[in-house]
Structure 1
Amino acid sequence: MAEEQKKIFDVSLFKRLLEYIKPYRNIFAISLICVIGLAVFGAMRPYVLKEAIDVKIANKEYNGFVFYITIMFALLVFEVISQLLFIYYASWLGQSVVKDIRVKLFKHILNFKMTYFDKSSVGVLITRAVTDMERIADIFGQGLFMIFSDILKMLVVAMVMAFINLKLGLIVFATMPIIIIATKIFQKYMKRAFEDVRTEVSNLNSFVQERVTGMKILQLFTRETTEYKKFKAINERHKKGWLKTVWYNSIFFPIAEFVSSVTLALVILVGGFGVVSEVSGTTMGDLISFTMFIPMLFRPLNQIANKFNTLQMGMVAADRVFKVLDTESNIDDLGTIEANHFKGKIEFKNVRFSYIKDEEVLKGVSFNVEAGETVAIVGATGAGKSTIINLLNRFYEIDSGTICIDGIDIKNMTLNSLRNQIAVVLQDVFLFADTILNNIKLNNEYITEEDVVTAAKAIGIHDFISTLPGGYHYNVKERGVMLSSGQRQLISFLRAYVTNPSILILDEATSSVDSYSEQLIQDATDTITKGRTSIVIAHRLATIQQADKIIVMDAGQIVEMGTHKSLLKKKEGYYKNLYEVQFLKVEAI
């Protein structure tokens, strides 16, 4: 096991967590005051009871006895008030800290390169942003302050016990090392157990998220039984992780209870002889107060162990969250030029790129797209077509070379302004579980419903949207499942068009739609590409015959470039071969 996992308590991690408390110093101070109140008021009640017994009851003096009872009642009220305020403010503090960390985490994730998401599990990220955050909140609401409160109460109780009767106090103190040693061992093993639990929780979340998302594929290929068995195996590991914690608890707490009971028995035995013999100076008040003090001293030890479990889970969760926060996977947004509007000239100059080091996907690609041109990029799967789109939007950083728009290196532009001027229509359209209007606007306050309707009419899809229940306010549900693939594609065209981009990119936009939707999409394409630079990626060559230029790619390199007609004139040309193969397939059908 790694050295950091062997640590029972990571001080540096805890200090980092405490940094988030600084904006809430006042609430933190109130919580601490309440903690002190719990310790003091709780420890004073047995002492007042001892005085009542020794001063009044033992001497059969009833005058003033009610006064002691009143003080005990007042201490109890103050203790209850302290407990109420503590629970409220400690929980409030925990949720406030978690809110800040969660916002920071989500903002950090939003700026990650696509590479990070390519390699990371969505389920794990969800666990970090949701489940782990709740465990961090528990550090403040149930862990940190409760541990501090228990330790403080133990110290106060120990001092009062020593002050009342040192002999009986020494008997109690003599047995405490057994509990302390047991607690230390318990904490060590619980730390490891909770590491396993958190790992299995992440695996479980990731597995369920992926299977629910891909349920259609599972059912299409009748994989229900196989995936059910896999789920049972993961769930079994998750159960075993939790059973470890149950096993450690089942050992520790009986031991703690046994030691506490033995200690109480010894105190009663020794103190009882002292009271009867009247030699040791032990009074009945001492004996009765110690029967109250011992649970107050030993119970916090048990609670510390229990709350330490909560603290450990929170610390493990915090460690995982901070690892995501410490991940440097952001595109460097060091540009200073605000791209308000592009003329649309695009230049790739000897661009090299690899998703995996030393495995180049683009191998020195160079080409120009003039302002207002429609350029098509074709080639076999894996040739590097979509990579060009990703690099133009700076979703990834190039290894070498330069990408310029209107003669300016895109690295010198701010990311937001660059991406605001480029609209992309992807083959796999993602729609949120929201209305069509909100899926088009994406909460852009500068786009009104009137703008959306006008744009829909311009590209010829207003009638289609109007036929839906609620029209533009129709909820398409998760990932747009209430719409066909062609309808989702039309929505994505409208989403791109309404932003009035300088550059438009269509990535396989008509590859999987019916003939009716394809005609609508083709009409929409003619409208939204008019007057602006457009890059079209397509497998179906019939859709790009009117392009001003066609770039043919193979294995990360440009092998041919020209118009549809000029490329067909090349004997044994790559494009000509692709076209003839597709033409023959159509003829065969």
Structure 2
Amino acid sequence: MSSSETPQRRGPVPGGPPAARMMMAGGPPEKLEDFKGSTKRLLTLLKPQRLYVGAALAFGAVSVFLSVLGPYMLGRGTDVIFSGVIGRLPIFRTGVTKEQAVSGLRADGQDNLADLVANVDFTPGQGIDFDRLGQVLAWVALIYVCAWFFGVFQGRLTTRAVQAAVYDLRQQVEAKLGRLPLSYFDQQPRGEVLSRATNDTDNIAQTLQQTFAQLVTSLLMIVGVLGMMFWISPLLALIALVTVPLSIWLTTVIGKRSQPQFVSQWKVTGQLNGHIEEMFTGHTLVKVFGRQHEASTVFGEHNDKLYASSFRAQFISGLIQPAMMFIGNVNYVLVAVVGGLRVASGTLTLGEVQAFIQYSRQFSQPLTQVASMANLVQSGVASAERVFALLDAAEQSPEPGFQEMPAVQGRITFENVSFRYLPDKPLIENLNLTVEPGQTVAIVGPTGAGKTTLVNLLMRFYDVTSGRITLDGVDIATMPREQLRSHIGMVLQDTWLFGGSIADNIGYGASVFDQASVHAAAEAAHVDGFVRMLPDGYDTKIDEEGSNVSAGQKQLVTIARAFLAEPSILILDEATSSVDTRTEVLIQQAMATLRSGRTSFVIAHRLSTIRDADVILVMENGTIVEQGSHDTLLAADGAYARLYSAQFAQAVVELD
């Protein structure tokens, strides 16, 4: 399709003007459009996996409970050791009760020491009770082993749920790409679409994997630890909570500053991918025209922007963790000082203070984790918005239900068809055309006349703006696209081969095929000759770019693909433009056989290839200005005659 017929993709252009490149870069960073809404929608991806999610949460809750219980049990072990140490002090005689020892200390004026030991469960003269200590340590080991066991199962279930959810998301994206109209891809750089389908989807998976279970576990840990802290000492718990509002405020302030940077990071990533994809697929032209420097310059600009936005996003969000660590250290000092005074006063035991300090650390740790996960969440939500924008893009018109049709004869009628790519730029206006079954219709005209657009409307790559197109009297708008296209074979000027064998590429045109039919189609398209010269014959692997076969050979393979499909309607868009003159003659003969009994549309610039067409349509500005046979149009001495004379004169000049 010519550049004047369709909106051009807006990918980076090597050597383009700086202003254009700045516009394509997308301008300043954007903000998340709907953080809360996108987050909720992201979490709904896990809804089909709610059984696994529920089990993961249950295992996580048990693991957290056991983890919270551990420090308390360790505190009891510390009390056992401390009691043994106190009991063996020289000031306590064997045979004296604890109460008598405390009373003796107070009588000697040692009130502080009396307050300290009054809350300690010791027996004067008795050392450490290693049996009791062993029991406590055994319980601690069992608790932590069980916590690890439940944590492992939680991680496995979380991974299962997240990967299944992202698998479904990829399925949705793949299905959506199949429902999007051709106009969407015309207006989007391919690299941008690929980035949303791959990079952004992978980032969502990473975000859910790293934050979902950990976030829930951290919140449960905060609640459990906070409960134990209040149970041990309400006063110390209130002191520990003093720093929480400051932590929340810091997290909010830093998070708001980093959000736009994450949006910019993933937006520029898509633009960079688009540029790389364009430069890679067109690397030959870039080298031929000496545009490596300009391509590198554009790449450098995008790379600089990606570096800047990524650095700002990671640096700003990275400030959260050191800030939280500083607040946690301040909290630790306050708890240690006040806790020591409480032990000295006999209000708390040393083991309780030790357990509380561990709890204060456990309390600040999940807070820090939740805060540090903010950058992952923002990055994931930014990617989610981009994927959701793809999923919410306007789809092609709804498909009608499948309808049974008799054998297709191939009578095609354009009735008052009008079409425009852009609302204010009409291209085809009130086109009327009837093609009888078995006729070969050639379409010629200058670039931008609407030749390929006519074919795109017939294939329903685009729907007409007004009027209708019928196939054997049935409006094609009432037919499912898949049903319509199953009757049409197409050979384009731009050949497309996928990574696979030559036989697989030829067989792509038919749902069911065997080796004999592939060979027959190859012989008809004159593919067999060069294929048998290859080391692996029909099993020769073609890379995704088809770089190990020539352009003409690729075109022959696509023609063989059309032979094998045996369509009722055949569309040839400059199908022999990449073959030599001798091969073109052979292909024209084969095409004549292929077109026999089929309605055919041939778009050609070399008028010598369409002399035998039943009807030649001459298009200018979306309108058929002339139609008739080759001889009739030459005799009319009109637009076709001028095109033919100009082409013939050019050939004479080239020969001279």
**TM-score normalised by the chain length of structure 1:** 0.95
In the other structure, the counterpart of 1:107 is 175
Cα distance in 1 for residues equivalent to 2:319 and 2:478:
63
- 1:177-196 correspondence runs (5 A): 177-196=245-264
In the other structure, the counterpart of 2:32 is 5
In the other structure, the counterpart of 1:476 is 542
User: Once the 2 structures are TM-superposed, how far is the Cα of residue 37 of structure 1 from its aligned partner?
Assistant: 2.1
Q: Which has the larger radius of gyration?
A: 2
Shift in alpha-carbon separation, 1:413–1:430, aligned structure 2, 3 A: same
Q: Which runs of 5+ in 2 are unaligned?
A: 1-27, 84-121, 123-127
The SS at the match of 1:569 is: helix
Cα distance in 1 for residues equivalent to 2:608 and 2:325:
81
Q: Does 1:462 align with 2:528?
A: yes
User: Once the 2 structures are TM-superposed, how far is the Cα of residue 56 of structure 1 from its aligned partner?
Assistant: 6.2
Maintained 8 Å contact 2:414/2:469: yes
In the other structure, the counterpart of 1:237 is 305
Q: Which amino acid aligns with 2:48?
A: P
Maintained 8 Å contact 1:49/1:68: yes
The SS at the match of 1:479 is: coil
In the other structure, the counterpart of 2:430 is 364
Q: Does 1:435 align with 2:460?
A: no
Identity percentage of aligned residues: 34
The SS at the match of 1:450 is: helix
Cα distance in 1 for residues equivalent to 2:304 and 2:447:
40
In the other structure, the counterpart of 1:54 is 79
The SS at the match of 2:500 is: coil
Number of matched pairs: 584
- Counterpart of 1:421 (choices 487, 498, 504) is 487
User: Once the 2 structures are TM-superposed, how far is the Cα of residue 469 of structure 1 from its aligned partner?
Assistant: 2.6
User: Once the 2 structures are TM-superposed, how far is the Cα of residue 500 of structure 1 from its aligned partner?
Assistant: 0.8
User: Once the 2 structures are TM-superposed, how far is the Cα of residue 555 of structure 1 from its aligned partner?
Assistant: 0.8
In the other structure, the counterpart of 1:412 is 478
Q: Does 1:353 align with 2:437?
A: no
Q: Does 1:567 align with 2:594?
A: no
Maintained 8 Å contact 2:510/2:564: no
The SS at the match of 1:64 is: helix
Cα distance in 2 for residues equivalent to 1:6 and 1:293:
39
Cα distance in 1 for residues equivalent to 2:526 and 2:571:
19
Q: Which amino acid aligns with 1:462?
A: D
User: Once the 2 structures are TM-superposed, how far is the Cα of residue 375 of structure 1 from its aligned partner?
Assistant: 1.1
Maintained 8 Å contact 1:374/1:534: yes
Cα distance in 2 for residues equivalent to 1:434 and 1:517:
25
User: Once the 2 structures are TM-superposed, how far is the Cα of residue 510 of structure 1 from its aligned partner?
Assistant: 2.1
The SS at the match of 1:241 is: helix
Cα distance in 2 for residues equivalent to 1:135 and 1:384:
42
In the other structure, the counterpart of 1:451 is 517
The SS at the match of 2:649 is: helix
Cα distance in 1 for residues equivalent to 2:322 and 2:372:
13
Shift in alpha-carbon separation, 1:484–1:36, aligned structure 2, 3 A: same
Per-residue CA shift, 1:245-298, capped at 9, x if unaligned? 3322453322211211121111111111222233xx021012211221122111
Q: Which moved more, 1:502-511 or 1:248-257?
A: 248-257
User: Once the 2 structures are TM-superposed, how far is the Cα of residue 502 of structure 1 from its aligned partner?
Assistant: 0.2
Shift in alpha-carbon separation, 1:140–1:544, aligned structure 2, 3 A: same
Maintained 8 Å contact 2:59/2:154: yes
User: Once the 2 structures are TM-superposed, how far is the Cα of residue 114 of structure 1 from its aligned partner?
Assistant: 0.9
Q: Which amino acid aligns with 1:465?
A: V
Cα distance in 2 for residues equivalent to 1:6 and 1:370:
54
Q: Which amino acid aligns with 1:22?
A: K
Shift in alpha-carbon separation, 1:115–1:234, aligned structure 2, 3 A: same
Q: Does 1:300 align with 2:300?
A: no
Q: Which moved more, 1:64-73 or 1:181-190?
A: 181-190
Cα distance in 1 for residues equivalent to 2:508 and 2:327:
63
In the other structure, the counterpart of 2:319 is 251
Q: Which amino acid aligns with 2:549?
A: L
Per-residue CA shift, 1:80-100, capped at 9, x if unaligned? 112212222212211111111
- 1:63-212 correspondence runs (5 A): 63-212=131-280
- Report the RMSD for the aligned CA atoms in angstroms: 1.9
The SS at the match of 1:230 is: helix
Q: Which amino acid aligns with 2:206?
A: D
Maintained 8 Å contact 1:90/1:140: no
User: Once the 2 structures are TM-superposed, how far is the Cα of residue 133 of structure 1 from its aligned partner?
Assistant: 1.0
Cα distance in 2 for residues equivalent to 1:382 and 1:132:
37
Q: Does 1:14 align with 2:39?
A: yes
The SS at the match of 1:395 is: coil
- 1:504-519 correspondence runs (5 A): 504-519=570-585
- Counterpart of 2:408 (choices 339, 342, 345) is 342
In the other structure, the counterpart of 2:647 is 582
Cα distance in 2 for residues equivalent to 1:67 and 1:78:
17
Maintained 8 Å contact 1:440/1:492: yes
In the other structure, the counterpart of 2:55 is 30
Maintained 8 Å contact 1:493/1:524: no
Q: Which moved more, 1:356-365 or 1:437-446?
A: 437-446
Per-residue CA shift, 1:319-354, capped at 9, x if unaligned? 111111111222431153245641111111111001
Per-residue CA shift, 1:371-391, capped at 9, x if unaligned? 011111111111111111100
Q: Does 1:532 align with 2:590?
A: no
Cα distance in 1 for residues equivalent to 2:361 and 2:526:
78
Maintained 8 Å contact 1:168/1:267: yes
Maintained 8 Å contact 2:66/2:146: yes
Cα distance in 2 for residues equivalent to 1:260 and 1:19:
34
Per-residue CA shift, 1:381-437, capped at 9, x if unaligned? 111111111000000010111111111111122211110100111111111122112
Shift in alpha-carbon separation, 1:114–1:190, aligned structure 2, 3 A: same
User: Once the 2 structures are TM-superposed, how far is the Cα of residue 182 of structure 1 from its aligned partner?
Assistant: 1.1
Q: Does 1:227 align with 2:299?
A: no
Maintained 8 Å contact 1:339/1:418: no
Cα distance in 2 for residues equivalent to 1:3 and 1:429:
39
Shift in alpha-carbon separation, 1:318–1:444, aligned structure 2, 3 A: farther
Per-residue CA shift, 1:556-586, capped at 9, x if unaligned? 1011111111111113x11111111111112
The SS at the match of 1:69 is: helix
Per-residue CA shift, 1:464-512, capped at 9, x if unaligned? 3222232222122123222222111111111111111000011111234
Shift in alpha-carbon separation, 1:2–1:484, aligned structure 2, 3 A: closer
- 1:273-312 correspondence runs (5 A): 273-278=341-346, 281-312=347-378
Cα distance in 2 for residues equivalent to 1:66 and 1:226:
74
Q: Which runs of 5+ in 1 are unaligned?
A: none
Cα distance in 2 for residues equivalent to 1:462 and 1:338:
37
Q: Which amino acid aligns with 1:5?
A: L
User: Once the 2 structures are TM-superposed, how far is the Cα of residue 2 of structure 1 from its aligned partner?
Assistant: 10
Maintained 8 Å contact 1:157/1:293: yes
Q: Which amino acid aligns with 2:642?
A: N
Cα distance in 1 for residues equivalent to 2:311 and 2:572:
53
Shift in alpha-carbon separation, 1:18–1:429, aligned structure 2, 3 A: same
User: Once the 2 structures are TM-superposed, how far is the Cα of residue 540 of structure 1 from its aligned partner?
Assistant: 0.7
User: Once the 2 structures are TM-superposed, how far is the Cα of residue 443 of structure 1 from its aligned partner?
Assistant: 8.2
Cα distance in 2 for residues equivalent to 1:332 and 1:348:
22
Maintained 8 Å contact 2:29/2:264: no
Q: Does 1:396 align with 2:462?
A: yes
In the other structure, the counterpart of 2:64 is 39
Q: Which moved more, 1:37-46 or 1:442-451?
A: 442-451
**TM-score normalised by the chain length of structure 2:** 0.86
